A and B are shown apart, each in its own frame.
Chain A
Amino acid sequence: MRVIPISAHAGITGFESPAAEYTQLGLSLDELLITHPNASFLCLAEGDSMQDVGIYDGDVLIVDRHETARNGDVIVANFNGLFVCKLIDTQRRLLLSCNEQYQPVSVHEYDEFSIEGVVTRSIRCHRPSPLLCP
């Protein structure tokens, strides 16, 4: 339900809060986590290949398209028509996983490949968020 955030006044005024002059805007997670709001998108991680950098199945990733990927960045790429999250090795043209069970994947000429953005933050819900659960 949406509540109108205006308090009702009943004629009794009381005392003005001595802190009223010092009120600041509440802290916003957007401000902390999203540097380029128009160039960023959110997505959901699926799989365990990145768990050694702390990205687990079901985490929310913030992908920033404004940033240019540097060697060693965690990125989201379009690899043959699929969004994948990997660590990029620009020198050897490799997509590295962060889990011993997965081998590096090299990007060939014939592959369809483009970097979609840099994963600048990842968010884990230690208790599931009702917004993300069906």
Chain B
Amino acid sequence: MFALVDANSFYCSCEQVFRPDWRKKPVVVLSNNDGMVVAANRQAKEAGIPKFVPYFQIRDLCQKKGVIALSSNYELYADLSAKMMQIIGRFAPEQYVYSIDESFLSFNRCYPAITCLKTHAQAIRRTVWKEARLPVCVGIGSTLTLAKIANHAAKQIPGYAGVCVIESGQQRLAILQQMPVGEVWGIGRRLSAKLTLIGITTAAQLAAMPPGLARKQFNIELERTVRELNGQVCKQWDEARADKQQIFSTRSLGERITDIDALQQALCKHAGIAAAKARQQGSSCKSMLVFASNSPHDERPVSYKAVVQFPCPTASTAEITAAVSRVLPQVFRSGVRYYKIGVGLVELMPTKHIQYDLFHAPTENPALMQTFDKLNQRYGSDCIFMAAQGIEHKWAMRRDKLTPQYTTKWMNLPKVQC
């Protein structure tokens, strides 16, 4: 049996840990530069705040309804997440942290020892609340996909109160019938539209599809999902997160950029972030996308992009940065007030499996990059970086509504009245 433990509107809940006066109140968290709403808790959703809308469109509504809007305090979320994961990890012999607020647990070798999974799940929920002051939901099922579905049911279907264990076939069917197919793990918007066309709208209907047909008409991934929905284990941890096919690092800017030097620095900074991520998953990229635009809400929205093909796949920050600088003239126009810029590494492939070209010797220096990454890992990120990124980042993130870093800065310790 597997469990998925997932925090309820994690960013908002983190903001409430050290602000007891904000508990039970509507809270939203904004993206970098306070641009979009990226997280909203139940109370905020009830007040009519949708997710993924620009903040300026709902600013008045927030004020009227008393919704607390905050910048994203990643330092706080990362620290609280690490502690929460440690607490969750105590409840099973195997743990796999899937994202900042989700963790899988496996009870495979100890299942009979835990006499009642439901009581165990309730203990997880109670303990995480007591020790981390974060609300979580627990879903348990015989496959990772079913655990994910149970978690969804625990959150959405009233009566489960945050804990759902799918044990009997009857109960599994009842839950699958209530779940739209688009909510199943791995079924994206496009796939769910296609499935709807052939009459599959609920998870139960998908589970009833013959697995062979799923592979024939779609792909092996869907076949595995169908099998998992029926309780047959097909997915493992390490497969749970496949390597990314492409890596983007983009951001809207804190302060608009109008000169070419600042644009180069900002783009090089993102090239560095993307390259480091590619190296981390052991990938090299064959082509890169560089883009820059002003805001779509500007009077005359414009956007420019450039594509770079590398003769030899690379993951070297030095090579990728140099390439960005080379194509810079293609994305810069004077007079444009740039708002959103970024770099995308596309056509990624495992570095281990690169087929080298007879006529192009690889020019990257893996040992140098390894040292570069290790230094940054050991002494803090950006301890060493390409000079092309510049030193003064005027265009860096704007976080006007940032809460203190209660757990990572001495000056920000929460205060207690005596």
* Candidates A37, A44, A50, A76; contact of B413 at CB < 8 Å: A44
Interchain CB contact under 8 A, A81 and B133: no
Residues on B with beta carbons closer than 8 Å to the beta carbon of A47: 417-418
CB under 8 Å from chain A, chain B span 61-111: 83, 86-87
Residues on A with beta carbons closer than 8 Å to the beta carbon of B410: 129, 131-132
Q: What is the CB-to-nearest-CB distance from A33 to chain B, in angstroms, rounded to a whole number?
A: 15
Residues on B with beta carbons closer than 8 Å to the beta carbon of A134: 411
Q: What is the CB-to-nearest-CB distance from A51 to chain B, in angstroms, rounded to a whole number?
A: 8
Interchain CB contact under 8 A, A82 and B407: no
Residues on A with beta carbons closer than 8 Å to the beta carbon of B411: 131-132, 134
B406 interface residue per 8 A CB criterion: yes
B130 interface residue per 8 A CB criterion: yes
B198 interface residue per 8 A CB criterion: no
Looking across the interface, which residue of chain B has its beta carbon closest to that of A119? B416
Interchain CB contact under 8 A, A82 and B418: no
Q: What is the CB-to-nearest-CB distance from A63 to chain B, in angstroms, rounded to a whole number?
A: 8
Distance of A41 Cα from B415 Cα, bound (Å): 11
Total contacts A-B at CB 8 Å: 81
A107 interface residue per 8 A CB criterion: no
Residues on B with beta carbons closer than 8 Å to the beta carbon of A48: 418
Interchain CB contact under 8 A, B132 and A44: no
Distance of A48 Cα from B18 Cα, bound (Å): 22
B359 interface residue per 8 A CB criterion: no
Between B21, B415, B417, the greatest number of chain A beta carbons within 10 A of the residue's beta carbon is seen for: B417
* Candidates A41, A50, A81; contact of B20 at CB < 8 Å: A81
B188 interface residue per 8 A CB criterion: no
CB-CB under 8 A for A116 and B133, given A38-B83, A38-B87, A81-B20: yes
Interchain CB contact under 8 A, B418 and A83: no
Interchain CB contact under 8 A, A82 and B131: no
CB under 8 Å from chain B, chain A span 18-41: 36-39, 41
Looking across the interface, which residue of chain A has its beta carbon closest to that of B413? A44
Distance of A33 Cα from B398 Cα, bound (Å): 37
* Candidates A45, A66, A81; contact of B418 at CB < 8 Å: A45
Report how many residues on chain B are interfacial, defined by Cβ distance under 8 Å: 22
Interchain CB contact under 8 A, A46 and B86: no
Interchain CB contact under 8 A, A81 and B21: yes
Interchain CB contact under 8 A, B406 and A41: yes
Interchain CB contact under 8 A, A43 and B415: yes
Interchain CB contact under 8 A, B132 and A38: yes
Residues on A with beta carbons closer than 8 Å to the beta carbon of B379: 2
CB-CB under 8 A for A46 and B415, given A82-B21, A131-B410: yes
A-contact bits for B279-303, CB 8 A (1 contact / 0 none): 0000000000000000000000000
* Candidates B131, B133, B416; contact of A45 at CB < 8 Å: B416
CB under 8 Å from chain B, chain A span 38-87: 38-39, 41-50, 55, 57, 60-61, 65-66, 76, 78, 81-86
Interchain CB contact under 8 A, B416 and A57: no
Residues on A with beta carbons closer than 8 Å to the beta carbon of B406: 41
Residues on A with beta carbons closer than 8 Å to the beta carbon of B18: 41
B-contact bits for A69-112, CB 8 A (1 contact / 0 none): 00000001010011111100000000001000000000000001
Interchain CB contact under 8 A, B87 and A39: yes
Distance of A134 Cα from B130 Cα, bound (Å): 32
CB under 8 Å from chain A, chain B span 245-283: none
Interchain CB contact under 8 A, B415 and A44: yes
Q: What is the CB-to-nearest-CB distance from A102 to chain B, in angstroms, rounded to a whole number?
A: 9
Looking across the interface, which residue of chain B has its beta carbon closest to that of A53? B418
B329 interface residue per 8 A CB criterion: no
Q: What is the CB-to-nearest-CB distance from B138 to chain A, in angstroms, rounded to a whole number?
A: 18
Q: What is the CB-to-nearest-CB distance from A84 to chain B, in angstroms, rounded to a whole number?
A: 5
* Candidates A39, A49, A65, A83; contact of B414 at CB < 8 Å: A83
Interchain CB contact under 8 A, A39 and B131: yes
Interchain CB contact under 8 A, A83 and B407: no
CB-CB under 8 A for A41 and B414, given A36-B131, A65-B130: yes
Distance of A43 Cα from B94 Cα, bound (Å): 33
Distance of A55 Cα from B23 Cα, bound (Å): 27
**18 A-B contact pairs sorted by A residue (CB < 8 Å):** A38-B87, A39-B131, A43-B413, A43-B414, A44-B416, A47-B418, A49-B418, A65-B133, A78-B23, A81-B23, A82-B21, A84-B417, A84-B418, A114-B20, A116-B133, A131-B410, A131-B411, A132-B413
Seed contacts A47-B417, A61-B416, A84-B416; 17 additional CB < 8 Å A-B pairs: A38-B131, A39-B87, A41-B407, A42-B413, A43-B416, A44-B414, A46-B415, A46-B418, A57-B418, A65-B131, A81-B23, A82-B20, A83-B415, A85-B417, A114-B20, A129-B410, A131-B411
Interfacial residues, chain A to chain B (CB-CB below 8 A):
2, 36-39, 41-50, 55, 57, 60-61, 65-66, 76, 78, 81-86, 97, 112, 114, 116, 129, 131-132, 134
